[in-house]
């Protein structure tokens, strides 16, 4: 049995975050989804699609 070591990253969120911070957070979520989650490809695609719609709303100025 092979064990895999990973990193633990703590990300905190506050309502005072700027748009750039929010965008960074969603990009980090995207990176985690793509590189770290060992889940079915259709679930991964759905998570990425949801994340992209959040990014588009953020960029367009909607919450």
Taking alpha carbons only, the member of 31, 24, 13, 28 closest to residue 58 is 24
Give the pLDDT band of residue 9 (cuts 50, 70, 90).
low
Model confidence pLDDT, tens digit, residues 34-50: 888 788 889 888 888 98
What is the pLDDT, as a whole number, of residue 26? 83
pLDDT in tens, 21-35: 888 888 888 888 888
Contact 26, 50 (CB under 8 A): no
3-class DSSP state of 13: coil
8 A C-beta contact, residue 58 and residue 19: yes
Q: Structural domain boundaries of the chain?
A: 19-60
pTM: 0.57
Residue 1 pLDDT grade (very low, low, confident, very high; cuts 50, 70, 90)? very low
């Amino acid at each position: 049995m092979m064990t895999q070591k990973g990193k633990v990253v703590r990300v905190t969120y506050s309502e005072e975050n700027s748009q750039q911070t929010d965008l960074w957070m969603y990009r980090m979520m995207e990176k985690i989804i793509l590189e770290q989650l060992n889940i079915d490809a259709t679930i991964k695609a759905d998570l990425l699609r949801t994340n992209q719609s959040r990014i588009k709303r953020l960029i367009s100025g909607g919450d």
